[in-house]
Structure 1
Amino acid sequence: MEMLNLPPFAYKIKQSGTNSVIFDALRRKYVPLTPEEWVRQHFMHYLTGALRYPRSLISIERGTTYNKLQKRTDMCVYDQRGKPHLLVECKAAHVPITQEVVKQVSVYNQVLQARYVVITNGLEHYCWEVDFESRRFQPLQEIPVFQTLL
Protein backbone atom coordinates (compact mmCIF):
# COMPACT_ATOMS: atom_id res chain seq x y z
CA MET A 1 0.00 0.00 0.00
CA GLU A 2 1.01 3.57 -0.63
CA MET A 3 2.53 5.91 1.96
CA LEU A 4 -0.04 8.52 2.99
CA ASN A 5 0.06 12.04 4.36
CA LEU A 6 -1.41 10.81 7.66
CA PRO A 7 0.22 9.57 10.88
CA PRO A 8 1.16 5.88 10.85
CA PHE A 9 -0.65 3.50 13.18
CA ALA A 10 -0.25 -0.09 14.35
CA TYR A 11 -2.40 -1.81 11.76
CA LYS A 12 -3.08 -5.54 11.53
CA ILE A 13 -3.07 -7.06 8.05
CA LYS A 14 -3.42 -10.74 7.21
CA GLN A 15 -4.23 -12.94 4.25
CA SER A 16 -7.71 -14.34 3.77
CA GLY A 17 -7.51 -16.73 0.85
CA THR A 18 -5.96 -14.74 -1.97
CA ASN A 19 -6.93 -11.36 -0.51
CA SER A 20 -5.37 -9.14 2.13
CA VAL A 21 -7.61 -7.91 4.93
CA ILE A 22 -7.07 -5.19 7.54
CA PHE A 23 -8.51 -5.10 11.03
CA ASP A 24 -11.07 -2.32 11.52
CA ALA A 25 -11.12 -1.39 15.21
CA LEU A 26 -14.52 0.34 14.94
CA ARG A 27 -16.31 -2.50 13.20
CA ARG A 28 -14.24 -5.00 15.22
CA LYS A 29 -13.54 -7.23 12.24
CA TYR A 30 -11.21 -7.73 9.33
CA VAL A 31 -12.32 -6.05 6.11
CA PRO A 32 -10.92 -6.31 2.56
CA LEU A 33 -7.81 -4.18 2.17
CA THR A 34 -8.57 -1.97 -0.82
CA PRO A 35 -6.74 1.28 -1.58
CA GLU A 36 -9.78 3.21 -0.31
CA GLU A 37 -9.94 1.13 2.89
CA TRP A 38 -6.25 1.85 3.48
CA VAL A 39 -7.08 5.60 3.43
CA ARG A 40 -10.22 5.13 5.57
CA GLN A 41 -8.33 3.20 8.27
CA HIS A 42 -5.55 5.79 8.39
CA PHE A 43 -8.02 8.65 8.56
CA MET A 44 -10.12 6.95 11.25
CA HIS A 45 -7.00 6.52 13.37
CA TYR A 46 -6.08 10.16 12.73
CA LEU A 47 -9.52 11.28 13.92
CA THR A 48 -9.45 9.12 17.05
CA GLY A 49 -5.77 9.64 17.85
CA ALA A 50 -4.57 13.10 16.88
CA LEU A 51 -7.95 14.86 16.85
CA ARG A 52 -9.46 12.94 19.80
CA TYR A 53 -12.82 12.03 18.25
CA PRO A 54 -14.50 9.34 20.40
CA ARG A 55 -14.78 5.99 18.61
CA SER A 56 -18.29 5.60 19.98
CA LEU A 57 -19.46 8.56 17.85
CA ILE A 58 -18.00 7.32 14.56
CA SER A 59 -19.90 5.25 12.01
CA ILE A 60 -18.33 3.61 8.96
CA GLU A 61 -20.20 2.81 5.73
CA ARG A 62 -23.60 3.63 7.12
CA GLY A 63 -26.45 3.59 4.63
CA THR A 64 -28.51 6.64 3.74
CA THR A 65 -31.15 7.36 1.11
CA TYR A 66 -30.94 10.19 -1.40
CA ASN A 67 -33.64 10.59 -4.10
CA LYS A 68 -34.81 7.03 -3.34
CA LEU A 69 -31.29 5.70 -4.00
CA GLN A 70 -29.35 3.82 -1.35
CA LYS A 71 -25.95 5.40 -0.68
CA ARG A 72 -23.20 4.65 1.83
CA THR A 73 -21.18 7.25 3.65
CA ASP A 74 -17.52 6.37 4.17
CA MET A 75 -17.42 7.79 7.67
CA CYS A 76 -19.70 9.95 9.77
CA VAL A 77 -19.03 11.41 13.19
CA TYR A 78 -22.10 12.14 15.30
CA ASP A 79 -22.52 14.60 18.13
CA GLN A 80 -23.66 13.51 21.60
CA ARG A 81 -27.32 13.81 20.54
CA GLY A 82 -26.82 11.45 17.59
CA LYS A 83 -26.92 14.16 14.91
CA PRO A 84 -24.37 13.93 12.04
CA HIS A 85 -21.58 16.38 12.78
CA LEU A 86 -18.66 15.52 10.48
CA LEU A 87 -19.01 13.67 7.18
CA VAL A 88 -15.86 12.11 5.70
CA GLU A 89 -15.49 10.91 2.11
CA CYS A 90 -12.41 8.77 1.47
CA LYS A 91 -10.89 8.07 -1.91
CA ALA A 92 -7.93 5.90 -2.83
CA ALA A 93 -4.61 7.76 -2.94
CA HIS A 94 -4.48 7.57 -6.75
CA VAL A 95 -7.93 9.21 -7.08
CA PRO A 96 -7.68 13.00 -7.40
CA ILE A 97 -10.01 15.23 -5.38
CA THR A 98 -12.08 16.79 -8.16
CA GLN A 99 -15.20 18.91 -8.36
CA GLU A 100 -17.13 15.68 -9.03
CA VAL A 101 -15.96 14.25 -5.70
CA VAL A 102 -16.97 17.46 -3.92
CA LYS A 103 -20.38 17.22 -5.59
CA GLN A 104 -20.77 13.59 -4.47
CA VAL A 105 -20.18 14.39 -0.81
CA SER A 106 -22.36 17.51 -1.05
CA VAL A 107 -25.24 15.37 -2.29
CA TYR A 108 -24.81 12.99 0.66
CA ASN A 109 -24.70 15.92 3.03
CA GLN A 110 -27.98 17.33 1.75
CA VAL A 111 -29.59 14.36 3.51
CA LEU A 112 -27.29 14.12 6.55
CA GLN A 113 -26.79 17.86 7.13
CA ALA A 114 -23.45 17.49 8.92
CA ARG A 115 -21.86 20.77 9.97
CA TYR A 116 -18.42 19.74 8.66
CA VAL A 117 -17.41 17.87 5.52
CA VAL A 118 -14.00 16.31 4.89
CA ILE A 119 -12.71 14.81 1.66
CA THR A 120 -9.41 12.92 1.68
CA ASN A 121 -7.42 10.63 -0.56
CA GLY A 122 -4.80 10.17 2.14
CA LEU A 123 -2.46 12.61 0.44
CA GLU A 124 -4.70 15.67 0.27
CA HIS A 125 -7.34 16.58 2.85
CA TYR A 126 -10.02 19.24 2.46
CA CYS A 127 -12.43 20.38 5.15
CA TRP A 128 -15.41 22.72 4.94
CA GLU A 129 -17.86 24.09 7.45
CA VAL A 130 -21.36 24.07 6.00
CA ASP A 131 -23.87 26.84 6.61
CA PHE A 132 -27.22 25.42 5.57
CA GLU A 133 -29.07 28.72 5.96
CA SER A 134 -26.85 30.57 3.48
CA ARG A 135 -26.11 27.36 1.52
CA ARG A 136 -22.37 28.03 1.64
CA PHE A 137 -19.28 25.93 2.23
CA GLN A 138 -16.54 27.74 4.17
CA PRO A 139 -13.12 26.12 3.57
CA LEU A 140 -11.13 25.50 6.75
CA GLN A 141 -7.36 25.38 7.09
CA GLU A 142 -7.53 22.44 9.50
CA ILE A 143 -9.91 19.70 10.52
CA PRO A 144 -11.36 20.73 13.90
CA VAL A 145 -10.17 18.92 17.02
CA PHE A 146 -13.14 17.23 18.72
CA GLN A 147 -12.95 19.26 21.95
CA THR A 148 -13.24 22.54 20.00
CA LEU A 149 -16.61 21.41 18.64
CA LEU A 150 -18.28 21.07 22.03
Structure 2
Amino acid sequence: MGMSDSVAFKTAMRRVPAPVTVISAAHRGERRGLTATAVCSVSAEPPQLLVCVNKRVRAHDAIGLAGYFGVNYLSHGQADVAHAFSSPSGAPGARFETGDWTEGETGAPLLRDALATFECRVVQAVDGGTHTLYIGEIVGMTDRDDLSLLYKSGLFSAA
Protein backbone atom coordinates (compact mmCIF):
# COMPACT_ATOMS: atom_id res chain seq x y z
CA MET A 1 0.00 0.00 0.00
CA GLY A 2 1.60 3.26 -1.11
CA MET A 3 1.39 6.74 0.36
CA SER A 4 -1.64 7.64 -1.76
CA ASP A 5 -3.39 4.51 -0.49
CA SER A 6 -2.68 5.65 3.08
CA VAL A 7 -4.27 9.05 2.40
CA ALA A 8 -7.26 7.40 0.72
CA PHE A 9 -7.66 5.07 3.70
CA LYS A 10 -7.64 7.99 6.17
CA THR A 11 -10.15 9.90 4.04
CA ALA A 12 -12.50 6.93 3.84
CA MET A 13 -12.27 6.26 7.59
CA ARG A 14 -13.15 9.91 8.35
CA ARG A 15 -16.49 9.32 6.61
CA VAL A 16 -17.48 6.59 9.08
CA PRO A 17 -19.17 8.04 12.18
CA ALA A 18 -17.51 6.92 15.39
CA PRO A 19 -18.02 7.54 19.11
CA VAL A 20 -15.42 9.88 20.59
CA THR A 21 -13.32 8.78 23.56
CA VAL A 22 -10.47 10.09 25.63
CA ILE A 23 -7.99 7.36 26.47
CA SER A 24 -6.19 8.23 29.69
CA ALA A 25 -3.35 6.90 31.82
CA ALA A 26 -1.19 7.99 34.72
CA HIS A 27 2.34 6.89 35.52
CA ARG A 28 4.35 8.17 38.50
CA GLY A 29 1.83 10.95 39.08
CA GLU A 30 1.92 12.23 35.49
CA ARG A 31 -1.41 12.11 33.66
CA ARG A 32 -1.57 11.63 29.90
CA GLY A 33 -4.49 11.37 27.51
CA LEU A 34 -5.58 11.55 23.88
CA THR A 35 -8.78 11.83 21.91
CA ALA A 36 -9.47 8.64 19.97
CA THR A 37 -12.15 6.91 17.91
CA ALA A 38 -10.25 3.64 17.42
CA VAL A 39 -11.79 1.80 20.37
CA CYS A 40 -13.93 -1.33 20.33
CA SER A 41 -15.18 -4.15 22.52
CA VAL A 42 -13.29 -7.43 22.31
CA SER A 43 -15.10 -9.80 24.64
CA ALA A 44 -17.88 -9.91 27.23
CA GLU A 45 -16.37 -12.84 29.14
CA PRO A 46 -14.03 -11.55 30.38
CA PRO A 47 -15.07 -7.97 29.56
CA GLN A 48 -12.31 -6.44 27.40
CA LEU A 49 -11.75 -3.39 25.22
CA LEU A 50 -9.20 -2.72 22.50
CA VAL A 51 -7.68 0.74 22.01
CA CYS A 52 -5.37 1.75 19.16
CA VAL A 53 -2.78 4.32 20.30
CA ASN A 54 -0.29 6.07 18.04
CA LYS A 55 3.26 5.31 19.16
CA ARG A 56 4.23 9.00 18.82
CA VAL A 57 1.77 10.40 21.38
CA ARG A 58 2.83 10.96 25.00
CA ALA A 59 0.06 8.74 26.37
CA HIS A 60 1.38 5.70 24.49
CA ASP A 61 4.30 5.02 26.82
CA ALA A 62 2.30 5.99 29.91
CA ILE A 63 -0.19 3.20 29.15
CA GLY A 64 2.57 0.63 28.70
CA LEU A 65 4.43 1.69 31.84
CA ALA A 66 1.35 2.00 34.06
CA GLY A 67 -0.24 -1.22 32.84
CA TYR A 68 -3.67 0.43 33.12
CA PHE A 69 -5.73 2.88 31.11
CA GLY A 70 -9.10 4.57 31.15
CA VAL A 71 -11.54 4.79 28.26
CA ASN A 72 -13.89 7.75 28.61
CA TYR A 73 -16.76 7.82 26.09
CA LEU A 74 -17.75 11.46 25.70
CA SER A 75 -21.31 12.74 25.90
CA HIS A 76 -22.69 15.19 23.33
CA GLY A 77 -21.77 18.24 25.44
CA GLN A 78 -18.09 17.37 25.80
CA ALA A 79 -16.63 18.52 22.48
CA ASP A 80 -14.40 20.89 24.50
CA VAL A 81 -12.81 17.85 26.17
CA ALA A 82 -12.30 16.18 22.78
CA HIS A 83 -10.59 19.32 21.44
CA ALA A 84 -8.38 19.68 24.53
CA PHE A 85 -7.08 16.12 24.17
CA SER A 86 -6.58 16.27 20.40
CA SER A 87 -4.38 19.36 20.39
CA PRO A 88 -0.64 18.57 20.19
CA SER A 89 0.31 21.88 21.83
CA GLY A 90 0.66 22.74 25.50
CA ALA A 91 1.80 20.77 28.51
CA PRO A 92 0.34 17.24 28.53
CA GLY A 93 -1.06 17.54 32.06
CA ALA A 94 -2.81 20.82 31.20
CA ARG A 95 -5.33 18.90 29.09
CA PHE A 96 -6.93 17.65 32.30
CA GLU A 97 -7.94 21.22 33.21
CA THR A 98 -10.84 20.73 30.77
CA GLY A 99 -13.54 18.50 32.26
CA ASP A 100 -14.16 17.12 35.74
CA TRP A 101 -11.59 14.37 36.30
CA THR A 102 -11.19 11.87 39.10
CA GLU A 103 -8.86 8.93 39.67
CA GLY A 104 -9.95 5.31 39.37
CA GLU A 105 -8.77 2.49 41.63
CA THR A 106 -5.84 1.82 39.29
CA GLY A 107 -4.85 5.49 39.14
CA ALA A 108 -6.22 5.96 35.61
CA PRO A 109 -7.86 9.37 35.13
CA LEU A 110 -11.63 9.08 34.62
CA LEU A 111 -14.03 11.78 33.43
CA ARG A 112 -16.84 12.10 36.01
CA ASP A 113 -19.65 13.08 33.65
CA ALA A 114 -18.69 10.93 30.66
CA LEU A 115 -21.32 8.85 28.90
CA ALA A 116 -19.40 5.77 30.06
CA THR A 117 -16.00 5.09 31.59
CA PHE A 118 -14.03 1.87 31.57
CA GLU A 119 -10.96 1.29 33.70
CA CYS A 120 -8.78 -1.37 32.10
CA ARG A 121 -5.75 -3.48 33.00
CA VAL A 122 -3.48 -4.10 30.01
CA VAL A 123 -3.51 -7.81 29.20
CA GLN A 124 -1.91 -7.63 25.77
CA ALA A 125 -0.04 -5.13 23.60
CA VAL A 126 0.14 -5.86 19.87
CA ASP A 127 2.34 -4.01 17.37
CA GLY A 128 0.08 -2.47 14.74
CA GLY A 129 2.46 -0.49 12.54
CA THR A 130 2.21 3.17 13.58
CA HIS A 131 0.01 2.17 16.54
CA THR A 132 -0.01 -0.24 19.46
CA LEU A 133 -3.20 -2.17 20.02
CA TYR A 134 -3.70 -2.37 23.77
CA ILE A 135 -6.22 -4.94 24.95
CA GLY A 136 -7.50 -4.19 28.42
CA GLU A 137 -9.53 -6.27 30.81
CA ILE A 138 -12.18 -4.08 32.42
CA VAL A 139 -11.72 -3.71 36.17
CA GLY A 140 -14.24 -0.91 36.72
CA MET A 141 -16.92 0.99 34.81
CA THR A 142 -19.63 3.63 35.03
CA ASP A 143 -22.35 4.76 32.64
CA ARG A 144 -25.23 7.19 32.37
CA ASP A 145 -28.06 7.74 29.93
CA ASP A 146 -27.20 10.63 27.60
CA LEU A 147 -26.47 11.38 23.95
CA SER A 148 -23.08 10.30 22.61
CA LEU A 149 -20.52 12.57 20.95
CA LEU A 150 -19.78 11.33 17.42
CA TYR A 151 -17.05 12.27 14.95
CA LYS A 152 -17.49 12.22 11.16
CA SER A 153 -15.72 14.08 8.34
CA GLY A 154 -13.90 16.35 10.77
CA LEU A 155 -17.04 17.40 12.66
CA PHE A 156 -18.64 16.50 15.99
CA SER A 157 -22.33 15.67 16.31
CA ALA A 158 -24.66 14.01 18.82
CA ALA A 159 -26.61 10.77 18.62
TM-score by length of 2: 0.29
If asked which structure has higher relative contact order (CA below 8 Å, sep 6+), I would say 2
TM-score by length of 1: 0.30
